Chain A
Amino acid sequence: MNVIETHNLVRKYGKTEAVHDLTISVPTGSVFALLGPNGAGKTTTIKVLMNLLTPTAGEARVLGVDSQKLGVNERRQIGYVSENQQLPLWMSVRQFLDYCRPWYPAWDRDLEKKLLGRFELPEERKLKHLSRGMLMKVALLSSLAYRPKLLILDEPFSGLDPFVRDEFVQGVLEVSEIGDWTVFISSHDIHEVEMLCDWVGILNAGRLQLAEPVEKLQARFRHIEVVLHEPIMPAVSPPEHWLCYEQAGSVIRFFEKDYSTGKTEVLCRERFPSAAVTAHPMSLREIFVALMRAQRVQNTEGAIK
């Protein structure tokens, strides 16, 4: 079963299309990272999922319910942390947790205490006197303590220093070990996300580039390096699944987005018969950058034509 599903989701701001025809499925138990550059439509997607915005077209379902009809029962099973959320800053950490607790019958006082200790939050300090990192940790704590089935994190690492980011990630991982839950996280801080996620979706200019398990993604992406004996231009143009193809002297580099050991080797031998070909595995960050670069090149070529 999928915790989140969208079908041909469209959201426009006036004439600007923030999300275009988005169809994704987030399976139960996964940690799904929605990656994309600034303005890709990640936050808009999450706002539609949380019924903070209405979709212009299409449908979004969360926990099996139309996002526009999310009720109390569903919200009790959803945790939401966003960099943009306005917390009641006049409250102290203690007051804030006291305020949140009655809304959730499944609130776990032990977990609350445990996370309070882990995050080293000063209970009596007012939220307005906390740093940004502390505030995010308070928000996370208030979203974890009732063990939600779905945790939605919208740009949680934005503006946090590396130490706090690490604490944040550790906090999420700790809870994820306790129960079967799903995390949907949007970010452009790929390094932190990489530690958490097992599924990834990449969004660019409102359009979904891909959505698949990280393992599968990393298996099919390779950074290929070809060293020619002589610096000559190959007569045949590269296939479409070779991204960011570039030649510098006798070295040719590109990203293979459809890598398989036999098939890629055959293609390389056909084009560069006597060259030395090496295939390097890619990190999520490298894949993301490769895709973004390829998209930019494609856009530039389209504009020239």
Chain B
Amino acid sequence: MKMIWHLVKKDLRAIWPLWLAWLGFIAVRIPLLLYYLNSAGEKALALMSLVCACALLADSLLVVSLVRSLVHEDALAGDKSFWVTRPITGVQLLVAKLASSLLVCVVSPLVLLLPTWFWFGFDEVEIGHVLTYHCLVNSGLVAVALLFAVVTRRGSSFWLVLLSSVVAVVILAIASSNWLIIDASRHARLAIVYAGLAVVLFGVVQQFIKRRTWIAQGSLGVGALITALLLPHWPGTREESPRGKLINQPLTITWNGVGAYFAKKEPKSSLPDYVKGRLEIALPKEYSRVDLQLLKGEWCDLKGNIDQADWVDPQGSPEEQSPTSSSVFQKVGQDVYICNALVSLSANWLWNKDQPWTHTGFSGRFRIRFIQTVTVADLKPIAGANARTGSFVTRLINVKSYKNAVKIAWIEAKAAGSSEGKTSVLDSTKAKVTERHNSWFSSAPLLWIRLEHHDSVFSSRGQEAGENKAGSRMVDDPTDLFAGGETHENLGELGWYFTTRVDQIVGYNDYDLKTDHIAIYKDGLP
């Protein structure tokens, strides 16, 4: 252990200039973030995204460079390294390199990041989340860099092998997604992936212990090939992942329709909502809402919609459940609700007069979107909302995003004051979100939200106090809101508070709307 620490200390001394540069880079990002947070205008927003993207790229390159330097300090490939002829074992070196890589690339940035995260106002759970993100991402980069560093001797060969491998993997993955059909089960594919990982791991470990570079290179090649070929057929894809399985589980869709009653030669214009029915969808508990969208109708065009009022949120508060529609959402199993939706289908009739009238049905395809609604209470702005621009940056940690399919439904903006430990909400409204950007800043996922008509949110209250801009008042200071005669003498602090509700589109599936489900009968129901 003592000798491992001796190696680690040597490694840290060897790379300290680059290490320091990286930490400096992280440190610079923090005031930069604060600058953008408090900047007004769309230019700042655009710059923020650009800076975030560049920072992420530079960050990754620096981490990879650091790991490369650490490993090449005692190169494993070739026979000229100093350590090889000294009483240093491969295991000692492996442990030392792992320890120094993790210390430098994962642990050391936390000295800067943790205080920042606390300053952002993250609670323990959120710190845990963002810590996990940070550790996973940086450990992943460390692992990739380590793989390539152990089979190369110099920086030039390292970057050449790394870049060419990335290009090769991308090309092979594209080819695999287009031409390779893997018929194996999920378990079989997972077994191949694990076998590939085991081969790569074996290659790395034996390189440290026995230094047979060609074996390590071969292992890496096999691992890269497996990754490239299986990447497009990854067992964790939406359809096959546990979440995907949830989405894909067969839904019971039944149609209790009432056929329209019309005569054979009835003119097209007299075919209003000719069919109404009840669509029953067994909905997994996780999804509180579904949207129905008709994609394609054959023989006729259909427009289907579900009256939103008839939908309830079983996970929402009692007030959110419509009393008139509570009956349509019935729990029928542990995780399954039945949603009895009243659906109106209207026809844009493409009438074929030669069609027989009896038992003619619609066919088509419709899409069901599963929507998970997450309410994030007290979504506080990180550095204070900018009332002038109507935007604020908050953290996006507790929102479970799935394939980035997250949309912000609305923001509840509150003007509130606090006094003697009590916060009084003076006014609140729902503001529509016009823009949202996900940013990865300071190793924390952040959400930049821009509100529409923010300036008019409280306009009715503040009109008397300030100037109007284009018919609506720009609110700079929440105290202005109360200039219309209300007293706020006892309020110590006044400020903006935001809560938001996030709708998350979890996924969608298309279903065939078959004749069996919807049918129109010439003479009414049989």
Contacts and interface: CB of A to CB of B under 8 A. Distances in A.
Contact of B87 (A52, A54, A90, A103): A103
A80 B85 contact: yes
Contacts of A84: 80
Contacts of B2: 102
B14 A75 contact: no
Contacts of B82: 85-88
A99 B85 contact: no
B88 interface: yes
B210 to A, nearest CB: 9
A120 B13 CA distance: 26
Contacts of B79: 47, 52-53
Interface of A: 47, 50, 52-54, 71-73, 75-76, 78, 80, 82, 84-88, 90, 95, 99-100, 102-104
Contacts of A75: 85-88
Nearest to B15: A90
A130 to B, nearest CB: 15
B80 A99 contact: no
Contacts, number: 49
Contacts of A76: 87
Interface in B27-58: none
Which of A53, A78, A88, A102 has the most CB atoms of chain B within a 10 A radius of its CB? A88
A95 B84 CA distance: 19
B84 A102 contact: no
B88 A103 contact: yes
B81 interface: yes
Contact of A86 (B6, B10, B80, B88): B80
Interface string B136-170: 00000000000000000000000000000000000
A96 to B, nearest CB: 9
Given A52-B79, A53-B79, A90-B14, A104 B87 contact: yes
Nearest to B212: A54
B73 interface: yes
Contacts of A104: 87
A72 B87 contact: yes
B504 to A, nearest CB: 51
A72 B212 CA distance: 19
A78 B85 CA distance: 8
Interface string B484-517: 0000000000000000000000000000000000
B3 interface: yes
B62 to A, nearest CB: 19
B122 to A, nearest CB: 39
Interface string B62-105: 00000000000101000111101111110000000000000000
A238 to B, nearest CB: 44
A86 B87 contact: no
A188 to B, nearest CB: 20
Contacts of B10: 88, 99
B86 A52 contact: no
Contacts of B13: 90, 95
Contacts of B86: 75, 100, 103
A86 B77 CA distance: 12
Nearest to A47: B79
Contacts of B85: 50, 52, 75, 78, 80, 82, 85
Interface string B294-323: 000000000000000000000000000000
10 contacts: A52-B84, A75-B85, A75-B86, A75-B87, A76-B87, A85-B80, A86-B80, A103-B3, A103-B88, A104-B87
B17 to A, nearest CB: 10
The 7 A-B residue pairs with the shortest CB-CB distance, nearest first, are A52-B79, A75-B87, A80-B85, A72-B87, A76-B87, A86-B80, A103-B87
A112 B89 CA distance: 25
A199 B86 CA distance: 26
A50 B79 CA distance: 10
A95 B14 CA distance: 11
Nearest to B17: A90
A266 B79 CA distance: 53
A70 to B, nearest CB: 9
A71 B87 CA distance: 7
Given A76-B87, A78-B85, A88-B14, A102 B80 contact: no
B372 to A, nearest CB: 54
A102 B6 contact: yes
A87 B13 CA distance: 15
A205 B2 CA distance: 45
Nearest to A75: B87
Contacts of A86: 75, 80-82
B73 A88 contact: yes
A128 to B, nearest CB: 12
Interface centre among B13, B14, B79 (most CB of A within 10 A): B79
B10 to A, nearest CB: 6
A51 B6 CA distance: 24
Given A52-B85, A99-B10, 11 more contacts: A50-B84, A52-B84, A53-B79, A71-B89, A75-B86, A75-B88, A85-B82, A90-B14, A99-B6, A103-B87, A103-B88
Interface in B1-27: 2-3, 6, 10, 13-14
Contacts of B88: 72, 75, 103
Contacts of B81: 86
A100 B87 CA distance: 10
A212 B13 CA distance: 48
Contacts of A53: 79
Given A88-B14, A99-B10, A103-B3, A72 B80 contact: no
A72 B90 CA distance: 10
A76 B3 CA distance: 14
Contacts of B87: 72-73, 75-76, 103-104
A94 to B, nearest CB: 13
Nearest to B14: A90
Which of B6, B13, B85 has the most chain A CB atoms inside 10 A of its CB? B85
